[in-house]
A and B are shown apart, each in its own frame.
Chain A
Amino acid sequence: MSIKRIDLLICCGSGCVSAGALRIKEKFIEVLNKNNIYDEVNIIETGCMGPCDFGPVLMVYPEGIFYTKVSPDDAEEIVNEHFIKGRPVKRLMQQEKDSTLATKEEIPFYKKQIKVALENCGYLNPERIEEYIALGGYEALVNVLNGKPEDAIETIKRSGLRGRGGAGFPVGMKWEFVNKAQGSPKYVVCNADEGDPGAFMDRSLLEGDPHRILEGMMIAAYAVGASEGYFYIRAEYPLAITRIKLAIEQAKEYGLMGENILDTNFSFDAFVRTGAGAFVCGEETALIASIMGQRGQPIQKPPYPANEGLWKKPTLVNNVETLGNIAPIFVKGPEWFSSMGTETSKGTKVFALTGDIRNTGLVEVPMGISVEELIYDVGGGIVGDRKFKAVQLGGPSGGCLTSEHLDVKIDYETLKEKGAMMGSGGVIVMNDSNCMVNIAKFFLEFSVDESCGKCAPCRIGLKQMHEILDKITKGRGKPSDIDELVTLGNSIKQLSLCGLGQTAPNPVLSTINYFRDEYEAHINDSACPTKVCLDLMHFNIDKNKCIGCSLCARRCPTSCITGSRQDKFVIGQVDCVKCGNCLEVCPVKAITKESGMHPDMKKHLEKLAQEALEYN
């Protein structure tokens, strides 16, 4: 018998897998076998380690060396140098200015993070219940089962935990409602219908530490008196589905799930239901309908699911991240949890950082951290030499914050006050090359597509808003459009039935609030200041710089560039399709993007309008 001397942890979060993590694993197996040390190394596929931008990432224990941007070809060098000769490969470590960062602890990305829900994510093997137990897993459940359900509810209340799905409802209170509700059986539902563009918190948690979510669900079930649980996971998350199913099986094998668990009266079974990927099914009543096999449409509340949920029985619906916070609260105590965060928002929050930011990835920070710390200290700031412009919090339901708000503390109330929202934790960072009108249009387009169509304000109103935005980005906006958008947006927010409609106008309203000048430039000056909206910008050749080489003319797909070596070249603005080929090929950089519609194009459009009038 021989024991292992090296633990090789390969991040197999979706980001690293798509960057080739599985090929790296195969290569390691091959190289280790070749060197006859395969049985000395434990190869472990873990969940997301966080810094997706540096993927694929690996960790090697006992030293705790952190390798980034590894390719299959590097396996040979890591095995020969590090595993055999004990010389960690510096080349593959994170480089910071003039120093090399060998371990995770040294990397700034991790420094301001506090991991609660993500504690084990990227550290344990998510497919082995034994590793979860080794790290203290299921102790909270065993202790809770030896006490009264009311005590468990009291503990959660004292911790101040609020729902992590977006709305931030106090979790203890929700549990109490379901506990006191009349009816039997009762159900617990884990909402894993994560749908906002750029969000992958729930997926990473389910993939990286499924037993923690399962344990959280079982504690919740005991507290509210439920005997069955459902995981509602979208079908786009196949790995999350596989892992949670495996976790359920393993828990059953160990007698942690089933009839009379640990000789108590508590029996529990859990099931997985896959969703077809409709954003509206993240709304709890629509989600419940979908689990029951009905069309995923929200219904009026009350009755709340706490009283009439699945099959009209009392049902507790909690988000993945909420359940991920339960076990540690029981192990470390509610006071420990409430010592983190702000007055009203306790604990930590997981965010998915995306966009024009250096360290894209999965992070967990204490509530009350400032926007600046999140973007610059954890996120590493803006890519390249661009400037920070805005950050969208809460995805298509949220709003944006600008450079004026860098000192804003991130908690439920403050964000709401500033027109953004916590949402489920998607953070999209934008640099100054983004057109905010276009961004608002993008998010609204998502909501228009995802509206279930049940109520008119959302179905028709959002479409109207989208049409107005589309006209504005095409240079056909009217000065009254901005007020029209605000009126429409506010009506939709007030009149819609569910959270989708009630929040969908937020991206438009908040961009109008903070970037009204951009809307005005689009409408009044027919100009997109960031040169993103194609109808409101044009390409121009600087005659003083042009050397008449004709490369641009030859690459132009519409042959609208004409000229000669003597006369230099010009773009025929009316026929230009703004493909940008000319800008790319110009050897002397004589071609630039200019904001605003070209006067020739304006004249052309006026002429067309005149002709249309005469024709009618």
Chain B
Amino acid sequence: MKTLADLKAIREKAQKEMKLRNANVRIKVIVGMGTSGIAAGAKEVMKTFLDEIATRSLTDVVVSQTGEKGLSSMEPVVDVVEEGKPRYCYGSMNVEKTKRVVAEHLVNGNPVKEFLISTEE
């Protein structure tokens, strides 16, 4: 390391690994991991989110989990929460759908309308 710029490069890289502890995340993805969610494949959905986010180096997105939402017929259910925007809720998710949500919603900011089950203001 020779300059402040070098230090900043190391810092940025290291910050990615610590982003879970940082309160300033842009988007929070919440996967419903109740019993019926898991039975419907929520674990694979969760895993896909994590893989896709890692591959695309989305440093400002965190993935978290929640319990049963009560909508068992639409499981796995995923919420995408962003400051100042409505809360988008996707239903009947699977690995393929997850990849599209990551690309279109998380990266480009366009919610994937056909998978949405609700939009809460």
CB-based contact B7/A85 at 8 Å:
no
Is A6 interfacial (CB-CB < 8 Å)?
A: yes
Query: Per a CB cutoff under 8 Å, which of A2, A130, A256 touches B17?
Result: A130
Query: Per a CB cutoff under 8 Å, which of B10, B46, B54 touches A1?
Result: B54
CB-based contact B50/A3 at 8 Å:
yes
CB-based contact B53/A123 at 8 Å:
no
User: Assuming the A-B contacts A1-B54, A2-B51, A85-B34, are A62 and B7 also in contact, with contact meaning beta carbons closer than 8 angstroms in the complex?
Assistant: no
CB-based contact A5/B2 at 8 Å:
no
Give CA–CA (A124, B1) in the complex, Å.
22
CB-based contact A85/B33 at 8 Å:
yes
Is B103 interfacial (CB-CB < 8 Å)?
A: no
Supply 10 A–B pairs (Cβ within 8 Å), ascending by A. Answer: A2-B47, A2-B51, A40-B47, A63-B64, A85-B34, A85-B38, A86-B66, A139-B4, A262-B1, A263-B2
Residues of the B chain whose Cβ atoms lie less than 8 Å from the Cβ of A131:
14, 17-18
Residues of the B chain whose Cβ atoms lie less than 8 Å from the Cβ of A9:
21
Residues of the B chain whose Cβ atoms lie less than 8 Å from the Cβ of A87:
66-67
Please give me the residue from chain A that is nearest to B62 by CB atom. Answer: A62
Give CA–CA (A263, B5) in the complex, Å.
14
Give CA–CA (A263, B1) in the complex, Å.
9
Question: A1-B55, A133-B10, A146-B4 known; 12 other A-B pairs, CB under 8 Å?
Answer: A1-B51, A1-B54, A2-B50, A3-B54, A5-B50, A5-B65, A7-B18, A40-B46, A40-B50, A86-B30, A134-B18, A139-B11
CB-based contact A6/B67 at 8 Å:
no
Give CA–CA (A149, B71) in the complex, Å.
65
Mark A127-158 against chain B: 1 for CB-CB distance below 8 A, else 0.
00011011110110011001000000000000
Say how far B91's CB is from chain A's closest CB, in angstroms: 17
Contacting A at CB under 8 A, from B1-60, are 1-4, 7, 10-11, 13-15, 17-18, 20-21, 23, 25, 28, 30-35, 38, 46-47, 50-51, 53-55
CB-based contact A133/B2 at 8 Å:
no
Give CA–CA (A146, B5) in the complex, Å.
13
Please give me the residue from chain A that is nearest to B65 by CB atom. Answer: A86
Residues of the A chain whose Cβ atoms lie less than 8 Å from the Cβ of B46:
5, 40
Say how far A553's CB is from chain B's closest CB, in angstroms: 61
How many residue pairs link A and B with beta carbons under 8 A? The number is 101
Mark A37-51 against chain B: 1 for CB-CB distance below 8 A, else 0.
000101000000000
Say how far A388's CB is from chain B's closest CB, in angstroms: 37
Please give me the residue from chain B that is nearest to A125 by CB atom. Answer: B18
Contacting B at CB under 8 A, from A57-112, are 61-64, 83-87
User: Assuming the A-B contacts A2-B50, A5-B20, A62-B25, are A130 and B65 also in contact, with contact meaning beta carbons closer than 8 angstroms in the complex?
Assistant: no
Is A4 interfacial (CB-CB < 8 Å)?
A: yes
Query: Per a CB cutoff under 8 Å, which of A7, A139, A143, A256 touches B21?
Result: A7
Give CA–CA (A131, B20) in the complex, Å.
12
Residues of the B chain whose Cβ atoms lie less than 8 Å from the Cβ of A136:
11
CB-based contact A133/B4 at 8 Å:
no
User: Assuming the A-B contacts A61-B21, A133-B14, are A2 and B33 also in contact, with contact meaning beta carbons closer than 8 angstroms in the complex?
Assistant: no
Please give me the residue from chain A that is nearest to B63 by CB atom. Answer: A5
Residues of the B chain whose Cβ atoms lie less than 8 Å from the Cβ of A256:
1
Is A615 interfacial (CB-CB < 8 Å)?
A: no
Query: Per a CB cutoff under 8 Å, which of B31, B53, B66, B68 touches A3?
Result: B53
Query: Per a CB cutoff under 8 Å, which of A3, A61, A142 touches B4?
Result: A142
Is A255 interfacial (CB-CB < 8 Å)?
A: yes
Say how far A505's CB is from chain B's closest CB, in angstroms: 48
Mark A1-17 against chain B: 1 for CB-CB distance below 8 A, else 0.
11111110100000000
User: Assuming the A-B contacts A131-B14, A262-B2, are A84 and B21 also in contact, with contact meaning beta carbons closer than 8 angstroms in the complex?
Assistant: no
10 shortest A-B CB distances, which residue pairs?
Answer: A86-B65, A134-B14, A86-B66, A130-B14, A3-B54, A7-B20, A255-B1, A134-B15, A61-B21, A61-B20
Give CA–CA (A85, B64) in the complex, Å.
10
Residues of the A chain whose Cβ atoms lie less than 8 Å from the Cβ of B13:
130
Residues of the B chain whose Cβ atoms lie less than 8 Å from the Cβ of A135:
18
Residues of the B chain whose Cβ atoms lie less than 8 Å from the Cβ of A124:
18
Please give me the residue from chain B that is nearest to A139 by CB atom. Answer: B7
Give CA–CA (A146, B2) in the complex, Å.
11
CB-based contact A2/B54 at 8 Å:
yes
Please give me the residue from chain A that is nearest to B5 by CB atom. Answer: A142
Give CA–CA (A254, B64) in the complex, Å.
34
Residues of the A chain whose Cβ atoms lie less than 8 Å from the Cβ of B7:
133, 138-139, 142
Say how far A120's CB is from chain B's closest CB, in angstroms: 11
Residues of the B chain whose Cβ atoms lie less than 8 Å from the Cβ of A85:
33-35, 38, 65-68
CB-based contact A133/B50 at 8 Å:
no
Query: Per a CB cutoff under 8 Å, which of A86, A133, A262 touches B64?
Result: A86
Give CA–CA (A130, B23) in the complex, Å.
19
Mark A244-271 against chain B: 1 for CB-CB distance below 8 A, else 0.
0000000000111000001100000000
Please give me the residue from chain B that is nearest to A132 by CB atom. Answer: B14
CB-based contact B21/A255 at 8 Å:
no
CB-based contact B33/A84 at 8 Å:
yes
Give CA–CA (A9, B20) in the complex, Å.
11
Give CA–CA (A55, B57) in the complex, Å.
36
Give CA–CA (A83, B64) in the complex, Å.
9
Question: Looking at A4, A256, A263, which has the most chain B CB atoms within 10 Å of its CB?
Answer: A4
Give CA–CA (A543, B67) in the complex, Å.
64
Please give me the residue from chain B that is nearest to A81 by CB atom. Answer: B67
Give CA–CA (A1, B57) in the complex, Å.
11
CB-based contact A62/B51 at 8 Å:
no
Give CA–CA (A459, B27) in the complex, Å.
67
Give CA–CA (A263, B47) in the complex, Å.
45
Residues of the B chain whose Cβ atoms lie less than 8 Å from the Cβ of A83:
65
Residues of the A chain whose Cβ atoms lie less than 8 Å from the Cβ of B64:
5, 62-63, 86
Please give me the residue from chain B that is nearest to A124 by CB atom. Answer: B18
Give CA–CA (A124, B11) in the complex, Å.
14
Please give me the residue from chain B that is nearest to A60 by CB atom. Answer: B20
Give CA–CA (A417, B7) in the complex, Å.
47
Residues of the A chain whose Cβ atoms lie less than 8 Å from the Cβ of B38:
84-85
Residues of the A chain whose Cβ atoms lie less than 8 Å from the Cβ of B53:
3
Please give me the residue from chain B that is nearest to A42 by CB atom. Answer: B20
Give CA–CA (A133, B18) in the complex, Å.
11
Contacting B at CB under 8 A, from A225-259, are 254-256
Say how far A7's CB is from chain B's closest CB, in angstroms: 4
